């Protein structure tokens, strides 16, 4: 009997190790340890054996059953890991997964950077966690200015700020390069907003700055119109309204005619036909002075375009939260992928 059982174990192991797929293994499992298997029959007939034999055969059949089961499990694991590693390394397999694409904001940011580079701007970047001085003071935002409010600004325990705009990069560039200067800084900014269709706590801007002798507002308007024309592939109607920002004097709000309703009024433009796109203006002489630029010789203009807003206009996205959702279906929806 013992011999018979050992033969079953030996044969079983051999067949299991030669198996090529999971289906064959499951069949072997049923043949060797299933309810019609030789082993099951032996176990059923144990009552006819002597007590001594029962002990030996009982423990041996259990051992063989467990061993064969273990071998089958191990072989299934081995076969499936082969399948996975073949999949991973077989470069000839066709690509079936979605390839993905750049986000609408990145596409627009790259386009704006390209236009600016053509106009002689250099693209610079800076840290997203800024010191208080460069985010506020150096931009003429005084200690009691509401922009510093805890409601709008994320502060760290070390009194650092998650930059509320990309303007600190302008400060860093003035400090580093001096004048004349022509830079643009695209990047991510943070404000503690209540989220809704047009407000997010994370958004993207591109700031531009030109400092030279005899720079005027007409230079500013020319640059802005040029950017918009390239991005929207048509002449976009713009208007300037006076606006107060501590770092510019005079300061303006630049609006573009709503591209969703073509100026007729819709929910996106709050029925005004115009969308506020960017604050801009002539750089405040104090801002130049604080960063070491002689404001009796040099003047300049600066603008901060909301890239997030621009992407929403371009791709006709009416809920800002889609942009940070990470849902790849949104790309398909905007016709990007």
Q: By CB under 5 A, which span of 178-186, 250-258, 278-286, 287-295 interacts with Zn ion?
A: 250-258
Q: Is the dihedral of CA 36, 41, 43, 44 positive or negative?
A: positive
Residue carrying the six token digits 């507002």: 217
261 binds Zn ion (CB under 5 A): yes
CB of 260 to Zn ion, least distance (A): 5
CB-nearer residue toward Zn ion: 234 or 296: 234
CB of 268 to Zn ion, least distance (A): 5
Q: By CB under 5 A, which span of 62-70, 174-182, 262-270, 306-314 interacts with Zn ion?
A: 262-270
313 binds Zn ion (CB under 5 A): no
CB of 292 to Zn ion, least distance (A): 43
DSSP secondary structure of 66-130:
HHHHHHHHHHHHHHHHHHHHHHHH-TTSPP-S------HHHHHHHHHHHHHHHTTPEE----SEE
Instruction: Supply φ then ψ for residue 9, to 5 degrees.
Output: -60, -45
Count of positions on this chain that bind Zn ion (CB under 5 A): 6
CB-nearer residue toward Zn ion: 66 or 267: 267
266 binds Zn ion (CB under 5 A): yes
Q: Which residues pair with 242 in a beta bridge?
A: 252
Q: By CB under 5 A, which span of 138-146, 219-227, 251-259, 277-285 interacts with Zn ion?
A: 251-259
236 binds Zn ion (CB under 5 A): no
CB-nearer residue toward Zn ion: 145 or 316: 316
Q: How far apart are the first and last CA of the chain?
A: 69
Residue carrying the six token digits 């942009």: 323
Residues 267-286 that bind Zn ion (CB under 5 A): 268-269
Q: How far apart are CA 155 and CA 131, in angstroms?
A: 10
Among residues 5, 162, 183, 258, the one that binds Zn ion under rule CB under 5 A: 258
* Residue 263, Ramachandran bin (φ over 0: left; ψ between -120 and 50: alpha; else beta): left
221 binds Zn ion (CB under 5 A): no
Question: Which of 68, 65, 64, 48 has its CA nearest to residue 3?
Answer: 64
Asked if 166 and 247 count as a contact pair (C-beta separation under 8 A), the reply is no
CB-nearer residue toward Zn ion: 44 or 270: 270
Residues 155-184 that bind Zn ion (CB under 5 A): none
CB-nearer residue toward Zn ion: 207 or 253: 253
DSSP secondary structure of 315-326:
TT---GGGTTS-
Q: Which positions lie near Zn ion, rule CB under 5 A?
A: 258, 260-261, 266, 268-269
């Amino acid at each position: 009997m013992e011999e018979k059982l050992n033969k079953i174990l030996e044969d079983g192991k051999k067949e299991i190790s030669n198996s090529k797929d999971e289906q064959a293994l499951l069949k072997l499992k049923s043949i060797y340890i299933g309810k019609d298997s030789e082993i099951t029959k032996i176990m059923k007939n144990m009552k006819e054996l002597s007590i001594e034999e029962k002990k030996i055969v009982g423990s041996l059949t259990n051992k063989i059953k467990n061993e064969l089961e273990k071998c089958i499990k191990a072989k299934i694991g081995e076969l499936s890991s082969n399948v996975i590693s073949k999949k991973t390394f077989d470069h000839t397999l066709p690509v079936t997964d979605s390839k993905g694409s750049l986000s609408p904001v990145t596409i627009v940011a790259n386009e704006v950077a390209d236009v600016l580079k053509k106009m002689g701007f250099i693209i610079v970047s800076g840290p997203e966690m800024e010191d208080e001085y460069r985010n506020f003071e150096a931009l003429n935002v005084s200690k009691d200015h509401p922009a510093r409010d805890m409601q709008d600004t994320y502060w760290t325990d070390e009194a650092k700020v998650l930059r509320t705009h990309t303007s600190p990069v302008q400060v860093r560039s003035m400090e580093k390069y001096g004048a004349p200067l022509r830079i643009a800084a695209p990047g991510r900014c943070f404000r503690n907003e209540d989220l809704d269709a047009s407000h997010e706590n994370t958004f993207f801007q591109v700031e531009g700055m030109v400092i030279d002798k005899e720079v005027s507002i007409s230079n500013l308007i020319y640059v802005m119109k040029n950017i918009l024309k390239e991005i929207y592939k048509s002449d976009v109607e713009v208007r300037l309204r006076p606006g107060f920002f501590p770092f510019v004097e005079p300061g303006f709000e630049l609006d573009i005619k709503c591209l969703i309703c073509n100026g007729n009024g819709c929910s996106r433009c709050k029925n005004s036909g115009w969308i506020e796109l960017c604050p801009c203006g002539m750089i405040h002489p104090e801002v130049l002075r604080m960063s070491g630029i002689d404001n009796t010789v040099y003047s300049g203009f600066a603008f901060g375009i909301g890239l997030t807003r621009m992407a929403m206009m371009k791709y006709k996205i009416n809920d800002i939260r889609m942009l940070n959702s990470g849902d790849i279906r949104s790309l398909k929806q905007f016709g990007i992928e």
